A and B are shown apart, each in its own frame.
Chain A
Amino acid sequence: MQKSTRARKPAIEDDQEVSMARDAIRKSIETKQRLAEECLDDIVQMARMITIALRKGGKVVFFGNGGSAADAQHISAELVGKFKRARPPLRASALTTNTSILTAIGNDIGFDEIFARQIQATLEREDVAVGISTSGRSANVIKGVEEARRIGAKTIALTGSGGGQLGPICDHRVIVPSDDTQRIQECHIMIGHIVCELIDETLGDRSHV
């Protein structure tokens, strides 16, 4: 094999890269281990709240910033599309996808209002709003939840960092036992998958398995 002609960056040695990677995986496992020990009931309760709303003809909306926006879209895609079982598409959406709406509200009213205003436009009493924020400090997510509460919809916080300011204002919260954004997000998407699986189990059509 031909040797690379590019000079290697001397600052990081091979073994250091390996140990950094191993460390990240170890911390991710530890966080998930604690999640399994301490948060199972909260995850199950989150799935139940969404299932109940969907059964009653309500819908569920997800929203967050950055990686949490990606999570919002990912989880709602699982519910509208197909997860494990065959079942009808479920009424789920992410409030992070319509760039015209997001830029209009952000530009004309304020970035803190991007979710609250969409919620004001579309949410009803029987719906569920899931705010996703690893720090529990995102002002637009907090405002979104506050708006959902005003409407009378159920609110769920998917968060970490002890829940921050988001946790206390929600009807229910799943708080990943970590302050580390990356580790929290890794747990969030796993929680999203678990919730989808539990909803599937309840609302899925067993004859199609």
Chain B
Amino acid sequence: MSKIRARAPLRVSYAGGGTDVPPYPGLKGGVVLSSTIQNYAYCSITPRSDGMVTVSREDQDVSIGPERLGDLKGSGELEFVRAVAKRFAVEQGFDADLRYDALPGTGLGSSSALCVALIGAFREWKGTSMTDYEIANLAYDVERKDVGIPGGLQDQYASTFGGFNLIEFKKDSNIVNPLRIKRETLNELEYSSLLCFTGTTRRSGGILQRQIVSYEHKDSKVMEALERMKELTLEMKDSLLTGNLTEFAGLLNSEWVAKKALDSAISTNEVDRLLHAARESGAIGGKLLGAGGGGFLFLYCEPGKQVHVEKAVESLGGKAFPVRFDLQGLQTWRSPK
């Protein structure tokens, strides 16, 4: 039987991360700027005729089952599979093979991307007609409500739609504004940027829980920082549309300063040192991606300085990767027999 495959891209969040975390969007309205990159979460579904289900992680050589869907025990990805299968009212058996290019906890939105990939695969299998908005909304509901992982709204939209987007979060609706950025600007951004793995993954749960409490209490320092982040997000969008990447780099620095004010655990000494070393060696803009505590840095380097920056972060235990943008978002297909 042919396999149904889906891949959903990971994302780099340039600005506004945190303004998408409820209850803030409902209170004040949130906005984020992000793009997807050519690193993915993958899901392959192979229908089975015996009514049983297996779930495996291709990247870890782990496999669970075969069991009845309801009898599968375990947490993490397994909960996503169970929740999505339930949402699609799947009664047939299947093998679900999952894979990440970057693990959850690294600030690239991989757990949401996996959720989007799962929905994409099931939608393709069942022939369900869904818009991108419906897919993203469902991914949000699965991850945040069915499975109960705290977090924001942006990752599901970024991964589903793909490309560069300014995403607005309002009380009753979330709107994805795709940005038409000149190819030369994108080329230059890819040419000048690096992703740097700090060597640590984090659990964003604690940071996010505290953030949510300070949103509920309308903590003035946090509210001010969020307002600042929204201003910076719009300025950064303008800098991309006008192709002013030096300004874009500077806005990354300011965004990171505002972001750190949301919670004291967002930055760590290790992150600080890596960012500073990167700056000393030619990165003129940089910030940590995701909710904080570890994961990946995004760095914008002066032309010709990437190699210096790479060496500087690697001497401190970081690992540098090139950035390549994905402009397609969620893709699904059937493997040739």
Contact = CB atoms under 8 A, between A and B. Distances in A.
Interface residues of B, number: 20
A162 B257 contact: yes
Contact of B250 (A34, A39, A42, A165): A165
B90 to A, nearest CB: 48
Given A42-B280, A168-B285, A163 B260 contact: no
Interface of A: 34, 38-39, 41-42, 135-137, 161-169, 175, 177, 179
A39 B284 CA distance: 15
A165 B253 contact: yes
Contact of A161 (B249, B251, B257, B286): B257
Given A38-B276, A169-B246, A177-B272, A162 B256 contact: yes
Given A168-B285, A179-B260, A163 B279 contact: yes
B324 to A, nearest CB: 23
B21 to A, nearest CB: 22
Nearest to A41: B280
A136 B256 CA distance: 12
26 contacts: A39-B280, A42-B280, A135-B254, A135-B257, A161-B257, A162-B257, A162-B279, A163-B253, A163-B284, A163-B285, A164-B254, A165-B247, A166-B250, A167-B250, A167-B253, A167-B279, A167-B284, A168-B246, A168-B247, A168-B250, A168-B300, A169-B250, A175-B276, A177-B276, A179-B257, A179-B260
Given A177-B276, A179-B260, A165 B286 contact: no
Interface string B251-283: 101101100100000000000100111011000
Given A163-B284, A168-B246, A168-B249, A136 B279 contact: no
Contacts of A165: 247, 250-251, 253-254
A167 B285 CA distance: 9
A39 B276 CA distance: 9
A164 B250 contact: yes
Contacts, number: 59
A175 B247 contact: no
Nearest to B287: A162
A137 B231 CA distance: 12
A41 B279 CA distance: 13
A111 B21 CA distance: 36
Contacts of B285: 163, 168
A34 B276 CA distance: 10
B276 to A, nearest CB: 5
A21 B171 CA distance: 44
A38 B316 CA distance: 13
Interface in B74-96: none
Contacts of B260: 179
A162 to B, nearest CB: 4
Nearest to A169: B246
Contacts of A38: 276-277, 280
Contacts of B254: 135-137, 161-162, 164-165
Q: Which of B254, B280, B284 has the most CB of A within 10 A?
A: B254
Contacts of A164: 250, 253-254, 257
A161 B272 CA distance: 11
A169 B247 CA distance: 8
Nearest to B260: A179
A39 B277 CA distance: 10
A170 to B, nearest CB: 9
